[in-house]
Amino acid sequence: MRGIITLLLMGLAFARIAMADNAVPGDTEWRPVASERLIRLPAGYLERAIERDFQESPLAVALGEAGRALADKSAGLGQLQAAADAATGPDRETLRQRFLEEKQSYLQLMGRRHDLERERLKTQHALYARLLGRIEREGTVGDDPAAAKLAENRQAAQKRFEASVEKVDMKLFADGAAAESRYGSEYRRHARAIDQLVAAINTHPMTQAPEVDGRSVDKREFLRHLATRAEADLALLDQQDLVLAYMAKLVALDAIAMADEVSDREARNTSRPETRDVSAAVGFFVNPN
């Protein structure tokens, strides 16, 4: 038993070293690109597009697996703790040892998940910074360049068509007595259709400006907000790491206490009673041989 507990304590020491190492293996990376396509997306869709890209990465797969493993481990800990509390004698000792081992395994899994989550947040923050830098350098105007370009083209086409319709009407119906030309009526029908389509685009959820604290913001400000939120999440993760470190310390203390308890019990079972009063041996001397 003492040897097993010693190994457990060594494992806890290695677990603390592992939790301090935030390196994530190369097969669980996420490498998003601050592409032109991503920059051109409406601000309301930008966050969703980045999240979708993340969900297709090996890092997302690894995080999902870690989350499922932690859920299973947590359920097993509850069952093992209840069994250890109800057991007596040698069975209780065995279950307590298993409970310590499973808590150590839980801490290692949680440390692994923290490392993966930290990698996601750091990558996310770096992506927001690259996108913001490109937008500021290239001077992208507005949150929806496609809609802005559509509106600009529509206005130019409308002016050209109005001029051509006026010329055709004046040439064909100079006396003013004839009915409106078919060019004018078709133009107005097309204009109404364009107005309806533009209105639908402008009111579409994906073209709406995102809100921060109930206030509409442009793409630059929204990216700054996302970057700040990632920094805050990283700070919270650091706090969770501290909680995890204290949990590891408690498991180590429990293991030490169990080792001392086993040692004391073994000493009691194997030692002989100590003779402190010499008179207890008088019978050996006064009785004849």
- What is the pTM for the complete model shown? 0.65
Q: Please calculate the CA angle 99-18-25 and round it to the nearest 5 degrees.
A: 120
Residue 172 to residue 169: CA distance in whole angstroms: 5
Residue 108 to residue 111: CA distance in whole angstroms: 5
Residue of 137, 90, 121 lying closest to 262 (CA atoms): 90
Tokens encoding 195: 């107005």
Mean pLDDT of 116-134: 94
Tokens encoding 127: 């992506």
- Per-residue pLDDT at 18 exceeds 60: no
> Can you state the angle between helices 219-270 and 43-55, rounded to 10 degrees?
40
- Per-residue pLDDT at 100 exceeds 70: yes
Instruction: Give the pLDDT confidence score for residue 173 in this predicted structure.
Output: 46
Tokens encoding 142: 């507005």
**Cβ atoms within 10 Å, residue 23:** 7
Pick left, alpha or beta for residue 213 (phi over 0 → left; psi -120 to 50 → alpha; otherwise beta).
left
Residue 111 to residue 8: CA distance in whole angstroms: 17
In the three-class reduction of DSSP (H, G, I as helix; E, B as strand; rest coil), residue 31 is classed as coil
Instruction: Give the pLDDT confidence score for residue 198 in this predicted structure.
Output: 72
Instruction: Give the pLDDT confidence score for residue 260 in this predicted structure.
Output: 78
pLDDT per residue as tens digits for the range 136-169: 887 654 445 555 555 566 666 666 655 555 555 5
257 compared with 59, residue with greater pLDDT: 59
Residue 127 to residue 57: CA distance in whole angstroms: 15
Residue reference for tokens 């600009």: 152
DSSP, res 24: -
- Per-residue pLDDT at 268 exceeds 90: no
pLDDT per residue as tens digits for the range 220-239: 888 999 999 999 999 999 99
Question: For all residues of the chain together, what is the average pLDDT?
Answer: 76
Mean pLDDT of 249-273: 76
Residue 34 to residue 50: CA distance in whole angstroms: 10
The answer to whether 26 and 255 have CB atoms below 8 angstroms apart is: no
78 compared with 274, residue with greater pLDDT: 78
10 compared with 205, residue with greater pLDDT: 205
